[in-house]
Amino acid sequence: MAPESGPAGLPAPTEVLEAARAELAATERALADIRRVRADRVDDDEHDPEGSPLSAEWARLDGLHRAAARRVAAAEAAVAHAASGRYGICQRCGGPIAAGRLEALPAAVRCVRCA
Ligand SMILES: [Zn+2]
pLDDT on residue 45: 55
State the distance from the centre of ligand 1 to the C-alpha of 100, rounded, in angstroms: 15
Tell me whether residue 107 is in a domain: no
Give a yes or no: residue 43 inside a domain: yes
Instruction: Indicate whether 28 belongs to any domain.
Output: yes
Find the 76 Cα to ligand 1 centroid distance in Å: 19
On whether residue 48 sits in a domain, the answer given is yes
| 1 occurs within a structural domain | no
How many whole angstroms from 97 Cα to the centroid of ligand 1? 7
pLDDT tens digits, one per residue of 5-53: 545 667 788 999 999 999 999 999 999 999 998 888 765 555 555 556 7
Q: Is residue 91 part of a domain?
A: no
∠ CA 108-76-105, nearest 5°, is 25
pLDDT of res. 2: 46
The total domain count for the chain is 1
Task: Give the distance (Å) from ligand 1 centre to CA of residue 59.
Answer: 36
Residue 46 lies in a domain: yes
Give the model's pLDDT for residue 100.
92
Segment 83-115, tens digit of pLDDT: 999 999 999 999 999 999 998 888 899 999 998
By residue range, what is the domain housing residue 60?
Answer: 13-86
98, part of any domain? no
Please report the pLDDT score of residue 12 as a whole number. Answer: 84
Distance 5 CA to ligand 1 centre (A): 21
Write the burial class of residue 39 (CB in 10 Å: 0-12 exposed, 13-18 middle, 19+ buried): exposed
CB 91 within 8 A of CB 112: no
